[in-house]
Structure formats: structure tokens, C-alpha cells
């Protein structure tokens, strides 16, 4: 399996589907918006994008299965599965607000071996495959070298359906607002992770995320020499709904602070 070639093909698919998504941004109206759950929206654009992605991916690896946000395909494979978010940042999209993205990862058994995130508004394609560096539009990227949390810019996402840890989250937010260069909330976890990978952010944390939100981006961070874990400092961030990602220098400090509030 030539992962570099597959990655290039997935980048092209992401760009093509991204063009479709961008073309639809001002055509959405309230009648096109469905509610899957509290503050969890879906449109025909999400579903059509996923169908387009699945159709093209099936040509690359016909036997692979899928873990896809909109469940337009139910095929699963024992060893090889695509993890797809056809439109990460739907709320931004329906309000014509950047940013929003496409996220596609390839998982072999329990290991992510390739990831692509395409930020549609800036035409930025982040990608990596097993044993490669991470790239942005053909150029190598890596995490920043800032050494202290106090010198860092962080990203997070607000809880949108699971408010069970909201009090702890708000206390942590107060701390990070006071003790860092600032906090940003872009609205696309996949892009947040890629911004960590290329050094625009030093760290990112959020709870309540799904595998399709983090699979590709977390892999790109790791290939960019960053570190990723759950809130316990363990590796259950893909399916555990908690994630911390950062450069290697602030990693321990950031994990310790988050554990203090989410113990």
C-alpha cells in the first residue's frame, strides 16, 4: 500500500469536494438545516459531501470500511477504515463564517496511518502519512518551539451538547485566559489541531469530540513532532471524547493544568 500516493489522491478529493462546499455557502437557508441534537446541525451539503468523498475513496481502497459522521455508508472493515468528517464546522458554514474543513483519516486496525485536513476558505491542505513529516500545501510543517504556557497561544472549543463538565471547563478557561497569550475558538477542531501542527497555536484542548473530528488532525500533529493525549494523559483521545494536543515543550505543563481542573 503506497500511503504517499493514497494521501495525494485524498488531498485532491478534499480539494474537489471543498470547491463544492464553498460554492454552496450562500445557498443554504433555514429549510436546509436539520437538527441532530442540541446545537448539532446537518445540511444537504454535509450529506452530499460525504457521499462524494465515499464514492471517490471507494475507488482507491475498494475493500476499506468507513466511520463517517453522517452515516451515508454503513460498510465496516475488520482491518482498514476511513474516518470522515465531510464538513467540520457546520455551524460556521451555515452562518457563512470561516473556518470549516474536510477531515479524512485512514485507520489500519487501531492505528491511524494517514490524515488529511482541508481548510476550505484559505485553500490550505494539511496532510501526513505513516513515517512521513507533516505538510501544508507541499511545505513541511512542525509544531512551535515555545517553551512556556505563559508564552503560548491556545485553542479550544466550547461544549455544544455535553454540559456535564461545563463548570470545570469554565474554570480552566479562566485560568488559561489569565496565564497564556490568549485563547482562540475557531469552530473546527480539525483545523485547530492542524494549527498546532504548523505552529500557529501551541496547544489545543476540548472535550465532547468524536473520532471524525480528531482522527486526521491529531495524526498530523504527531507527525509534526507534537504530542497528543486524553485528559488523563493517556491515548484514548480518538474514541474517548477528550483531547489535548501541543508542542513537546509545553505538553507536560498543559496536561497537568487540565488534569487539575478535570480530576
**What confidence category does residue 34 fall into, taking pLDDT thresholds of 50, 70 and 90?**
low
User: What pLDDT is attached to residue 69?
Assistant: 79
Give the highest mean pLDDT range of 22-26, 42-46, 113-117: 113-117
CATH of the domain at 119: 3.30.540.10
Which among 140, 164, 192 is the end of a domain?
140
Considering only 68-82, 165-179, 247-261, which range has the smallest mean pLDDT? 68-82
Residues 94 and 129 in one domain: yes
CATH of the domain at 235: 3.40.190.80
In the chain, the N- to C-terminal Cα span, in Å, equals 42
More confident residue, 235 or 29: 235
Question: 47-94 pLDDT, tens per residue?
Answer: 999 999 999 999 999 999 999 877 777 788 889 999 999 999 998 998
Question: 99-114 pLDDT, tens per residue?
Answer: 999 999 999 999 999 9
Residues 56 and 183 in one domain: no
User: What pLDDT is attached to residue 39?
Assistant: 47
Which among 140, 171, 198 is the end of a domain?
140
Considering only 21-30, 39-48, 60-69, which range has the smallest mean pLDDT? 39-48
Residues 205 and 120 in one domain: no
Residues 115 and 12 in one domain: yes
Residues 157 and 128 in one domain: no
Tell me the sheet residues that pair with 67.
83
Residues 68 and 176 in one domain: no
Residues 136 and 157 in one domain: no
User: What pLDDT is attached to residue 159?
Assistant: 82
Give residue 156's domain range. Answer: 149-262
Question: Above pLDDT 90, what percent of the chain?
Answer: 81
What total of structural domains would you count in the chain?
2
Residues 154 and 27 in one domain: no
Question: 198-243 pLDDT, tens per residue?
Answer: 999 999 999 999 999 999 999 999 999 999 999 999 999 999 999 9
Question: 180-194 pLDDT, tens per residue?
Answer: 999 999 999 999 999
User: What pLDDT is attached to residue 263?
Assistant: 78
Residues 166 and 97 in one domain: no
Residues 100 and 20 in one domain: yes
The reply to whether omega before 219 is within 30° of 0 (cis) is no
Tell me the pLDDT of the chain averaged across its residues: 93
Q: Long-range contacts of range 76-82, CB-CB < 8 Å, 24 or more positions apart?
A: 79/108, 79/109, 80/106, 80/107, 80/108, 81/106, 81/107, 82/54, 82/57, 82/106, 82/107
CB 129 within 8 A of CB 158: no
Residues 154 and 121 in one domain: no
Question: 147-169 pLDDT, tens per residue?
Answer: 999 999 999 998 877 888 899 99
Residues 111 and 186 in one domain: no
Which among 119, 140, 161 is the end of a domain?
140
Amino acid at each position: 500500500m503506497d500511503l504517499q500516493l493514497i494521501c495525494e489522491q485524498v488531498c485532491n478529493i478534499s480539494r474537489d469536494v471543498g470547491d463544492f462546499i464553498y460554492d454552496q455557502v450562500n445557498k443554504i437557508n433555514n429549510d436546509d438545516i436539520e437538527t441532530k441534537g442540541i446545537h448539532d446541525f446537518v445540511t444537504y451539503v454535509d450529506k452530499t459531501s460525504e457521499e462524494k468523498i465515499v464514492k471517490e475513496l471507494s475507488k482507491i481502497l475498494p475493500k476499506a470500511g468507513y466511520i463517517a459522521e453522517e452515516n451515508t455508508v454503513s460498510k465496516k472493515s475488520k482491518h482498514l477504515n476511513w474516518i470522515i468528517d465531510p464538513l467540520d464546522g457546520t455551524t460556521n458554514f451555515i452562518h457563512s463564517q470561516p473556518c470549516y474543513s474536510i477531515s479524512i483519516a485512514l485507520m489500519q486496525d487501531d492505528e491511524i496511518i494517514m490524515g488529511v485536513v482541508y481548510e476550505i476558505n484559505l485553500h490550505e491542505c494539511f496532510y501526513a502519512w505513516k513515517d512521513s513529516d507533516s505538510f501544508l500545501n507541499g511545505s513541511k510543517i512542525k509544531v512551535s518551539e515555545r517553551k512556556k504556557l505563559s508564552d503560548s497561544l491556545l485553542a479550544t472549543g466550547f461544549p455544544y451538547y455535553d454540559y456535564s463538565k461545563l463548570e470545570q471547563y469554565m474554570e480552566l478557561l479562566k485560568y488559561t485566559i489569565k496565564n497564556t497569550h490568549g485563547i482562540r475558538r475557531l469552530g473546527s477542531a480539525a483545523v485547530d489541531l492542524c494549527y498546532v501542527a504548523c505552529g500557529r497555536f501551541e496547544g489545543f484542548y476540548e472535550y465532547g469530540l468524536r473520532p471524525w473530528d480528531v482522527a486526521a488532525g491529531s495524526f498530523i500533529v504527531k507527525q509534526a513532532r507534537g504530542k497528543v493525549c486524553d485528559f488523563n494523559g493517556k491515548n484514548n483521545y480518538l474514541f474517548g471524547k477528550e483531547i489535548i494536543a501541543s508542542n513537546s515543550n509545553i505538553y507536560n505543563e498543559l496536561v497537568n493544568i487540565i488534569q487539575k481542573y478535570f480530576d
